[in-house]
Amino acid sequence: MESINPATGQLLKTFDTWDAAQLEAALRAAADARAEWQATPFGERARLFRTIAAALRKRTAHYAGLISQEMGKLIKEARAEVEKCAWGCEYYAENGERFLRDEVVETDASLSYIAYLPLGTVLAIMPWNFPFWQVFRAAAPALMAGNTMVLKHASSVPQCAQALDEIFRDAGFPRGVFSALMISAAQAEQAIADPRIQAVTLTGSEAAGRGVAAAAGAQLKKTVLELGGSDAFVVLEDADLEQAAATGAAARLLNCGQSCIAAKRFIVVGKIADEYLALLKQKLQALKLGDPALEGTQLGPMARADLRDQLHAQVRDSVAAGAGLVLGGEPHPGPGFFYKATILDQVGPGMRAYDEELFGPVAIVLRARNEDDALRLANDNRYGLGASVWTRDSKRGERFARRVQSGASFVNGMVKSDPRLPFGGVKASGYGRELSIHGIREFVNVKTMWIK
């Protein structure tokens, strides 16, 4: 495994992949820890997560610097990611016991109720784009519910993986309750088949999701999949265009556009399309590209060279197929994996930019005839993670948003995750939910108890 600085292309560190004995030891430790951890009172689990939250805040600068250096995130965004992890830990520390409290149901029994009991050990397969938050939003609910967890992190963020392992250990979690596995994708498939793994949660690409679902399904193991997204950002004719353009630029280029819930398809009603496109171009043109470690930088590098090459091929092929290049459209010269902020107009079916997810700083504009056509375009996509709609009439926006095929719809706001709200998608964006009460109930045995 290699840790590479995306801003410079410099190799930072290399790590050896674990052998079979090391993987076996970690799986055994997770299995051995289950009984003790399940018997640990909720109050003690909550105390440990509050300890983690305090540690994250105390060392925000260190962890944010590690995130920024290893995957290229802007330093201010990295700090926000660390803070969000602390919030997620505190949220489940505060609410975990209440969410899993026995529910009494009146039946013909003397007593009948629903119990929410841990499944066992969960394998988390996590991506590089939010290397701390993606892990905590899976780990906090799963561990608060009494499960143990083993993490297979993305191979491009090994330093983040090791830091997460240290955070749980330093907070006082018992050995085996959480551990990072330095393993390959092939070894992850072996772990899925291991009888000591009871469930799998994955955040990643559609292809990875299909592979994990197939492997876990063959073993009859529960999965939660949070996959790709090609979120619609719908601008109706009565929208505040300045606000929609400013938020649209931020929503497209958060994390250099490398976010499953980034606004990707800008669907604009025709009569205001030219005006909106000009505003969006103005916002993206003004962004300062550069070193993500510097406070003034607004657009950092992409995480890896191969990801930049893939994005550029999608842009190039779409332009060759008839898309109009309004802005950017090429890598930024010099060291590092930078790509210029890009806008494609006149995008249509059959073009890669229309049919595929663009995971980087590229916005596509789709021109709709009217509101009904905007809805058709929003739903004409195999993904269904998030969506937003912009209008001065919030009731109109609500009616529209309910009809969009997505796991979340925002009216006059940027799509974002929040520990208090369920997060997940439909269609090729996956299934199951993270966060909120729904996230903590994904990896439990919803058990009927009937007593006479």
Burial class (CB in 10 A: 0-12, 13-18, 19+), 315: buried
Minimal CA–CA distance to 132: which of 99, 98, 84? 84
CA distances to 25, 26, 28, 164 from 22, rounded to whole Å, are: 5, 6, 10, 18
Catalytic residue chosen out of the listed positions 206, 260, 357, 442: 260
Give the span between the Cα atoms of 204 and 416, in whole angstroms: 17
Is 124 within 8 Å of 91 (Cβ atoms)? no
- 264 phi/psi in degrees, rounded to 5: -125, -35
Catalytic residue chosen out of the listed positions 90, 226, 237, 442: 226
Verify whether residue 260 is a known catalytic residue: yes
State both tokens at 13.
Answer: 């560190």
Verify whether residue 85 is a known catalytic residue: no
Catalytic residues: 226, 260
